[in-house]
């Protein structure tokens, strides 16, 4: 096979459909549901088909990039929402005639992005001294991406 050939062409229609859905959902369960492919097939393909495994790894990176872009958008640009009154109708700005819009920014997402991209500056720092005659050592702890909260 030529080196510039599309590796996805070697995959079955179901495999390509599952990968496309995973790129959008970033979860195996969601991708299986959206593509109509049994989630067990993914694990079997990943184990038995090196081409699928490589394509899935690439798709994981693409899905993670999409998630990071969305996190950055929410942290920096914010999420715009229309403001509603008690009667359920949108509040209207009398000067413009347009509905009032509030923008919410996510400080938590911004902190996570800073820790991930500049751990030496924004990562968790722990100083440990083992002996009195040795200078303190700075240990930078990378973010755990919420893993500790799931335990």
Has residue 31 been placed in a domain?
yes
Q: Say if 144 falls within a structural domain.
A: no
For residue 5, what are the domain limits? 1-66
115 assigned to some structural domain: no
Query: What was the pLDDT predicted at 127?
Result: 60
Kindly report, residue by residue over 28-45, the tens digit of the pLDDT: 999 999 999 999 999 999
77 within domain boundaries: no
> Is 143 within a domain?
no
Domain presence at residue 24: yes
pLDDT confidence bin for 10, thresholds 50/70/90: confident
- Long-range CB pairs of 105-114, under 8 A, 24+ apart, other chains included: 105/74, 105/75, 105/76, 105/78, 105/79, 106/71, 106/74, 106/75, 106/78, 106/79, 107/75, 109/71, 109/72, 109/74, 109/75, 110/75, 110/76, 112/71, 112/143, 112/145, 113/68, 113/71, 113/72, 113/75
Q: How many domains does the chain have?
A: 1
Residue 148 inside a domain? The answer is no
Q: Would the pTM count as exceeding 0.75?
A: no
pLDDT given at position 1: 46
């Amino acid at each position: 096979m030529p080196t510039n050939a599309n590796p996805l062409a070697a995959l079955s229609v179901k495999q390509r459909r599952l990968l496309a859905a995973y790129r959008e959902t970033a979860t195996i369960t969601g991708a299986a549901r959206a593509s109509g492919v049994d989630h067990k097939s993914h694990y079997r393909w990943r184990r038995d088909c090196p081409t699928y495994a490589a394509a899935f790894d690439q798709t994981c990176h693409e899905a993670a990039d999409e998630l990071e872009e969305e996190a950055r958008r929410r942290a920096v640009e914010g999420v715009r929402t229309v403001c509603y009154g008690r009667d359920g109708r949108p509040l209207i700005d009398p000067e413009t005639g347009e509905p009032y819009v509030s923008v919410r920014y996510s400080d938590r997402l911004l902190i996570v992005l800073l820790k991930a991209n500049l751990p030496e500056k924004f990562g968790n720092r722990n100083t440990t001294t083992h002996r009195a005659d040795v200078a303190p050592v700075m240990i930078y702890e990378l973010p755990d991406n919420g893993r500790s909260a799931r335990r």
